Amino acid sequence: MTDICSLSLTAVATALQKKELSAAETTAACLERMAATEPEIAAMLTVDADGARSRAAELDRQGPDPALPLWGVPVTLKDALSTKGLATTAGSRILEGFTPIYDAFVVEKLRAAGAVILGKANLDEFAMGSGTENSAYKKTRNPWNTAKTPGGSSGGSAASVAAGQCFASLGSDTGGSIRQPASLCGCVGIKPTYGRVSRYGLIAYGSSLDQIGPLARSVEDCARVLTVIAGHDPRDATSDPRPVQDYAAALTRCDLKGVRLGLPREFFKDGLTPEVRAACDAALQKARDQGAELVEVSLPHTDAAIATYYIIAMAEASSNLARFDGVRYGRRAANVKNLEELYVKSRSEGFGQEVKRRIMLGAYVLSSGYYDAYYRKAAQVRRLIRDEYLAALELCDALCAPVSPVTAWDLGSHTADPLQMYLMDAYTLSLNLSGLPGLALPAGLGRESGMPVGLQLIGKAFEEADLLSIGHALERALPHIGRPQI
């Protein structure tokens, strides 16, 4: 059973199609692994063991189907994605007990591709956080060291993949929430171009920033899942109609000859810890050895990205979370005297501290007299940041930078200082402001901490095939970091 869980998604999908494995035994292996590791890492909020076994048995009765690229492959989902008949909480008490009546677009696509959904992974409440410590239900731990954070907000998804509980997981990335936990947990994650994957059925945090993407153990695994979940959806007005490529088939590069990688000088300043810098420098040397040409580029407004992002994200969060009022669904306060008290008590009891903080700040920057000074100015700087990315990408095929300035930090070390936590996203959130795709992959292990270090590649809009192909070639040159001993 343990041997099955050590396989890549690509390997297990091939074995399933060849009948070397059955969907039932593969699912049973993942559920057994989940039962063994959950007491230590707490990656999952809901485990649908009966539903997964039933689905696997049904698939085995039908037999392998080459037209279903994920036939029999067990996966997990961030609990911000709507799942018909399966509890969906967004990590918040205000949605405790809520069971949707429809699937998110990406969940529909996974089911149609033959995947087996094992359950819902933990997250920071409404995806607001960088360490999966803001969940109302539990704190997830990093499989590499259970005293450390797995990152966030998709920390449950990353921990689930790293611990071998599943072969891939879907997360959402608003300011780095796929790439940062992938980096801290030593797996691969991709944030697609904004609009490449439908957000229908994703519980919104920042609607102009959110994007759904996969986390898995290799670039090829992520490419296979992205091929399944990408595509146009008329239910999402921001969904792009461009046809979907077979991203796995596009992984044709054997090396990086002829590839120009841009190094943003602002990402390699003093903020990096020595072990992160050393791992990234070693990875860049591997890229040179593979034939890549490294060129320095500049993104001058990088220093303004954190302030710009949090103004826009909090404004959109304040607007999006207004719908959670105790009336239509979710938590409803008891013993209230009037409608205003119902709103106040339901939201006060249901939302956690970080969510309340962001709602209040978002309402402030959108309020009369402050909108022009804050939100409008942030929107203008956002355009400058995007233009700088586009100009830099005119000089190269992809940009290359660290994902996080540090390796995974101790649980609880930043919870009393939200500003320190916000700084953990310094190298990821500007990409969400620009809407461009980003791929995070392991660069090595930190010399002092022994924890994973992540490198991110940033590509041109809707050119995920090229980005993944470059990442695939670089991945093969980088050291294999192994698996966490959990």
**Catalytic machinery residues:** 78, 153, 177
On the CB side of 72, CA atoms within 13 Å amount to 30
Pairing of the two strands 452-458 and 438-445? antiparallel
DSSP output for 417-447: -HHHHHHTTTTTHHHHHHT--EEEEEEEE-T
Task: Work out the angle between the directed axes of helices 305-320 and 353-365 (0-180°, nearest 10).
Answer: 100
List all residues 6 or more positions away from 177 whose beta carbon is below 8 Å from its beta carbon.
Answer: 124, 127, 130, 152, 153, 154, 171
Closest by CA to 136, choosing from 326, 346, 350, 317, is 350
Residue 355, judged by CB atoms within 10 A of its CB (0-12, 13-18, 19+), counts as buried
Residues 6+ apart with CB under 8 A from 361: 310, 314, 318
| Cα–Cα nearest to 214, from 84, 115, 286 | 115
Pinpoint the alpha helices (H) of 250-376: 274-289, 305-320, 339-350, 353-365
The Cα–Cα gap between 481 and 62 comes to 38
The helix/strand/coil state of 387 is helix
Rg (CA), the chain: 21
Contact 375, 360 (CB under 8 A): no
Contact of 301 with 268, CB cutoff 8 Å: no
Strand 212-216, strand 168-172: pairing = antiparallel
* CB-CB neighbours of 283 under 10 Å: 22
Nearest Cα to 184, choosing from 154, 150, 153, 214? Answer: 150
Query: b/e string for 27-40 if b means 16 or more Cβ within 10 A?
Result: bbbbbebbebbbee
